[in-house]
A and B are shown apart, each in its own frame.
Chain A
Amino acid sequence: MTPPLEKERIKQMKVTSSSFKENTRDALSNPTLQNSLKRLHTGFVSSRSRAAARMPEFELLRDQARDIKDHVLAHLDVYLEKFELQCQAHGGHVHWCRDENHAKDVVLDICQKANAKTVTKGKSMIGEEIAINDHLEANGIEPIETDLGEYIIQLRNEPPSHIIAPATHVSKEQVADVFRLTHSDLDPARNLDEPDNILAEARAMLRNRYMEADVGITGANFLVAETGSSIIVTNEGNGDLTQTLPRVHIVLASIEKIVPTLLDATALLRVLARSATGQEMSSYTTFSTGPKRDTDVDGPSEYHVILLDNGRSDLLDSEFKEMLRCIRCGACLNHCPVYGAIGGHAYGWVYPGPMGSVLSPGLIGLQNTKHLPQASTLCGKCEEVCPVRIPLPLLLRNWRFLIYDRGLTDRKLAFGLSIWAYLAKRPMLYHLVVRWLIRVLALGARKKGRYKYLPGLKAWTQTRDFPAPQGKTFMQQWR
């Protein structure tokens, strides 16, 4: 599949979080994106609340999910070794990878040993994190995304904008456009107006790809220590075709995906789909263990699990440890007013929304990502819906402290804060200044009672008037 659009894919996964402000401005003025964000918000938010209301034990299930993940993190070394042992006992291979480059090379090596020409892929956030597609492509192996959303953004040369709905920013007209461009041997006059037609075309195009692929790469929602299994949760069935038809199955997972037992996995599965899409259970939940057995009729002959660290072990004894509980359901994105206004691309790396603003600085450093922890109103909705009860607002605040400590705060903001801090520590002076300021502002506004322009407050006044203060200060009235 030659990339149809002119941009180079290699550039895709570069971190653009440092230009967060510019990204945000673009996002806010993009009508297609704004439409799709509205749809996303009403869709996922209402279905999650329906699913939660329908399950009387839901809050208990969330407590339990949190406790299971905490137990795993407190015994992570033992569980990882147990997983490795069990996986090997079933004929699987486990590859420990310290960072993205290491993981990319290991995956490439497996593909090259399998003489792979094409590789089908199920949706994997670890795949995005290590930018595996670029690496395979650069080495002459063609990666084909099979999740419909991932397929669409692969054709459009874009990164995903949501961790469970990667193409949520794309309209159906845009899908039709990129299909016409890419599937150029089909009748150009064919009807692609309805989602039905688009679906049928995607199904037909990807069929052959499944059959001819030499290697199938999937992610893992969980790894089960007790049995050495990997679990994928999907709705389309693409992950299952990807991991059953090719000769080699590679699982991309990170070290914190471990759960102790099948029962623990079951307990977590009860909160995953409900939190993500509001489904009672996703269409397909699949437990895979090792390669096919000698007597099996189908399935892969090789089974490899990549255990990626990439900065996670550093987080274990940090104040961001709770982030390692995350099961990537996307509920915090769906409920976040900031994500809902700007979408996923503005965040500039693979993990957007509240979970991304906490995780990304931990994985790729604060220097590039210092805007992200600031991009929150700390309204607390994310924590309210998190199935494993990660205190996201607290963790965002922890990053803000570090940003300030390290002198990474924006100069203007730091200056403003220092003036405010100076006054706040001197109450008498504070009251005096406020009283004076209010009088001046009230006088300046004359009879209109509002400002169309105020120096230093352009961000406010360019979209709405600034109301002038009226009467006395709160403290004056309170006395």
Chain B
Amino acid sequence: MISLLRKGKPLCSNGDNQLMINAREEILSKIKAGLDPLQSREGREKSVETHLSNPSKHVIPKRGQLDRAKRILLFQQMAEEVAATTSRVSSLNELPKTIIEYLNRHNLPSHIKTDTNPLLNRVDWAKHPTLEVKYGKAEDCDQNSVTVAFAGVAETGTAVLTSGPNNPTTLNFLPENHIIILPVSRLFGTYEETWARLRAEMGEIEKTFPRTVNWITGPSRTGDIEQTIQLGIHGPKRLHLILVEGNDEETG
């Protein structure tokens, strides 16, 4: 039974360490007192260890579990449903042309801010002098950004992006127009597969986990004004996903 009238609650000077430690012990001991008395702390630790080391067999929706061709179609369909646009190119060399066309189509200035992902280093931007390419984190004046996704999830048309020395997070949110490059070799059916890939690439995830992992599903939206969906309130108004074909060797 809980005490229904809250005790007169008090005190705390700013950031007093002693108090903080006391609060920690106090909260933990209250929690312990509230847990099943039949289970010992050791028992709980053991069962937590088991849960953490054997990823539980969760229900994974069948929707995304498809062969390659269907997976790509589902990804495009789901992304377009949430007002993103998509296009497919057969190699990295086609990227500049596709980006220029996209910018022209929407009457946007012909410059992009992009990350320094090694994948994009292989693109010969110099062949397209009309497109101005800058690198680094986003500034308020940047209108268009181009970033490389770590992976894609067909289940909901979601792009997964990770932060790192080559991938500033601000590029995903500050500019009004966001173009995401997604190698088809990294387009999975489910979120679970993207986590597995992250673990495979980053090793001990507890130590190497990036500061930010973004799941991006469509452009920025709000329904805060009379429940009407409006795009581009704080983040990008437009989201364009370019799927790049090619094997893992070329695009991975």
Contacts and interface: CB of A to CB of B under 8 A. Distances in A.
Interface of A: 36, 39-40, 43, 55-57, 60-61, 64, 71, 74-82, 86, 89-90, 95-102, 105-106, 108-110, 112-113, 146-149, 152, 165-168, 171-172, 175, 195-196, 198-199, 202-203, 206-207, 211, 225-227, 229, 235-238, 240-241, 244-245, 255, 260-264, 266-267, 269-270, 277, 279-293, 295-299, 307, 309, 311, 313-320, 361-367, 402, 406
Contact of B223 (A43, A55, A81, A109): A43
Given A40-B227, A284-B215, A299-B163, A81 B28 contact: yes
Contacts of A317: 2, 33-35
A294 B225 CA distance: 41
A262 B33 CA distance: 28
Closest 7 CB pairs of A and B: A237-B235, A316-B34, A317-B34, A149-B224, A313-B30, A295-B165, A285-B215
A264 B195 CA distance: 12
B-side binding surface: helix, strand, loop or mixed? loop
A313 B27 contact: yes
A266 B81 CA distance: 21
A57 B4 contact: no
Contact size range, B: 35 or more
A83 to B, nearest CB: 11
A438 to B, nearest CB: 41
Given A96-B24, A270-B61, A316-B35, 19 more contacts: A55-B63, A75-B44, A75-B48, A77-B35, A78-B44, A86-B206, A97-B23, A98-B9, A113-B15, A199-B230, A240-B235, A261-B51, A263-B58, A282-B217, A284-B217, A298-B137, A298-B169, A317-B34, A320-B2
Nearest to A235: B221
Contacts of A255: 27, 31
Interface in B213-235: 213-228, 230, 232-235
Contact of B212 (A64, A149, A288, A320): A288
Interface in B182-212: 191-192, 195, 205-207, 209-212
Interface stretch (B103-111, B126-134, B170-178): B170-178
B94 to A, nearest CB: 27
B39 interface: yes
A237 B35 contact: no
Contact of A195 (B63, B192, B215, B230): B230
Contacts of B55: 261, 263
Nearest to A242: B234
A351 B5 CA distance: 18
B226 A172 contact: yes
A149 B227 CA distance: 11
Nearest to A307: B27
